[in-house]
Amino acid sequence: MNNLIDITESFGTLYHPKSALVFYESKGTDKEMYVEHFDMDKNGTPINAHPLTEREAEALAKALHSEKQKENAFLKSGGILPTNILHINPSRDKGAVLWYTKSQKRPLYFIEGLGIPSGQAFVPPMIWQATKNSLRVFALMGNSRPTEKTPLYYAPFFNIYEDGRVCMGSVHINIKNSACVEEFTKAWEDYFFNSYFSHLMGENSPVKGNCVSLWKDLVGTGRSFPTALLKANNKTLKNLLS
């Protein structure tokens, strides 16, 4: 175990030391503070020691303020709150958003083994519920803004568990702590629709009939999604809020 291997180049993002601050404090009851600024050479060694200048202090304060703003921006709106947002928990640790989308045409991707050609197709109105690391989706019968009493239906897609949880497989989820609510919802919709659907989760079809046949009939045709084929799951929107 004496052979050391440098693996730093395999890291995703490398940070190199550029400067350092050393805080000095005098002894006694009347303590005074002195700050010294060091540059760093290419080996990370402190050089060019000098008192912290006013310009350097302003740059430091601006950087700290910007980082604080990013921390406080998570799940805040970039402007007027979008009308499709139904509920927000802005907590950095347990942050979550509940929103809906109307029926729309989206690109859909299927693995070759399903026998469904990838292409554009209309999807039903949907309910989305997401945290930074997980996503649940459901279908709706109509495009109007849902209420707590609105019935939910199984999302008519592959890779979705019975409780609505989406199996994202190998998709790398990267939701930033600074993401506003608009960025958050768009990112999750893109993750969902830009990944490949591969298989049904469980033994039951999420639609009335054959799910494979349904999407074979819809992809590339421009036909509206047949909401009559949606299967009710005996839940309402209120169940997602509890």
Give the per-residue pLDDT at 13.
Answer: 52
* Span 183-212, pLDDT tens digits: 999 999 999 999 999 999 988 899 999 999
For 164, other C-beta atoms within 10 Å of its C-beta total 20
Say yes or no: 60 and 142 in one domain: no
Say yes or no: 226 and 168 in one domain: yes
SS3 73: coil
CA distance 227 to 153: 10
Residue 9 lies in a domain: no
SS3 67: helix
Residue 2 lies in a domain: no
Residue 3 lies in a domain: no
Say yes or no: 65 and 118 in one domain: no
Where in the sequence is the domain holding 58, given as residue range(s)? 14-72
* Span 21-78, pLDDT tens digits: 777 777 766 667 677 777 778 777 887 777 767 676 666 655 544 444 445 557 877 6
Tell me which DSSP letter residue 74 carries.
Answer: T
Model's pTM, two decimal places? 0.70
Instruction: Examine the fold and report which residue of 24, 41, 72 is the final residue of a domain before the chain moves on.
Output: 72
Say yes or no: 155 and 217 in one domain: yes
CA distance 47 to 40: 6
Say yes or no: 115 and 221 in one domain: yes
Say yes or no: 36 and 142 in one domain: no
Torsion sign across C-alpha atoms 152, 196, 165, 132: negative
Domains of the chain: total: 2
Say yes or no: 42 and 155 in one domain: no
Say yes or no: 129 and 232 in one domain: yes
Say yes or no: 89 and 68 in one domain: no
SS3 241: helix
DSSP 138-177: EE-SSSSPP-TT-EEEE--SSSB-TTSBB--TT------T
